[in-house]
Amino acid sequence: MSIDTINPDSAWAAFIARDRHSDGRFVGAVLTTGIYCKPSCPARHPKRENVVFYRDGAAAAAAGFRACLRCKPDEVGRDRVAVARAVTLIEAAEETLGLEHLAAMVGYAPHHFHRLFKRATGVTPAAYARGLKARAAAQALMKEASVTEAIYEAGYSAPSRFYEGVGKRLGMTPSIWKRGGAGVTIRWTIAATSLGPMLVAATDKGLCRVSFDEGEAALRARFPKAEIVPGGAVLADLAARVVASVESPDRDQDLPIDVQGTAFQEAIWQALRQIPIGETRSYAELATLAGNPRAVRAAGTACGANPVSIVIPCHRAQRSDGTMGGYAYGVDRKIALRDREGVK
């Protein structure tokens, strides 16, 4: 569905599915009651011939309709503005903002805003803030002369705070990160699939690279300081589960991953993993879920940077007009994966 025009059939399908991700994109007005609702409204559905669609509540109100008191469609825009404002505040803050303080700054009760923020971005406000520090720490560790200097440069009040939080999140100690991953063992194999040979690589924590048409050389280029070894029997079961995700993507394998990205990238990747099998999301919807509705192009870039294809299902992303969009391993593979999941 285009962001500028409303496709009545797609809009009606969103209402029937009570698609929360379509909230804020348009409203449905019921001719027989004079009320307009958001797509996820839990009220009983009217007959299709009695529903017309408008870009927003203001347009519906101008046509003589009033807002539904049950789903409160006009609050959707307010919610998204609040989340976007909170993201800006978190990114600008020198110290971590507590939930109560952050919620008060955007005009919401703490517990309600906590749910609202997580629903919109895929992470809690505290996790989003930790993601920002993780990114800063990773960048600082690559340029600072010492680990301690890098920790303070990233905004931590003491090294202990870094080791409690970001050290765990990065999946390796700061000194190892400083050395480009030296000391980390990555096991790999090339698995045969119906879509072509697939590289499967994993650390002890989970999958770090799943890609088509790549081999050991590409893995060593990506992880130059790690110990790269054949997977053997240790990787066999995990690799078989990845192959099963290719051959039968209609079944969720719940595979472990060990990847790092920017806070925004990781929010996009989390949003992708939350898309139900057989469904899609537009890059605009993913950007909104990641807390930055205007970062549509960046959402597409984050999909392209996905280090573990299939496991993070970036093939479920598409343009707002419903067209396919790109795919790092070829559009034909994207089509095949979507067909297997039952995407229309």
User: Could you give the CA distance from residue 141 to residue 124 in angstroms, rounded to a whole number?
Assistant: 25
Q: Is 208 a catalytic residue?
A: no
Reply yes or no on whether 41 is catalytic.
no
| Residue at 212: amino acid letter | F
DSSP 108-128: --HHHHHHHHHHHHSS-HHHH
**What residues are paired with 198 via a beta bridge?**
191, 212
Q: Report the distance separating Cα 299 and Cα 286, nearest Å.
A: 6
Q: Is 4 in contact with 55 (CB distance < 8 Å)? A: no
Residue type, position 189, single letter: T
- The half-sphere exposure of 69 on its side-chain side, counting CA atoms within 13 A, is 1
Phi, psi torsion values for 281, nearest 5 degrees: -140, 145
- Active-site residue, selected from the candidate residues 71, 208, 303, 314: 314
- The span from the CA of 265 to the CA of 269, in Å, is 6
Q: Rounded to whole angstroms, what are the CA distances from 292 to 27, 110, 209, 330, 336?
A: 22, 21, 27, 28, 30
CA 181 to each of CA 143, 234, 259: distance values in angstroms, whole numbers, following the listed order = 15, 21, 13
Adjacent-strand bridge partners of 54: 27
Contact criterion met (CB below 8 Å) for 29 and 53:
yes
Q: Using the CB atoms, write b or e for 73-84: b if 16+ within 10 Å.
A: bbebeebbebbb
Provide the token pair at 5: 């025009």
- In 3D, which of 268, 341, 276 has the Cα closest to residue 19? 276
φ and ψ of 139, to 5 deg: -70, -40
- Active-site positions read 37, 314
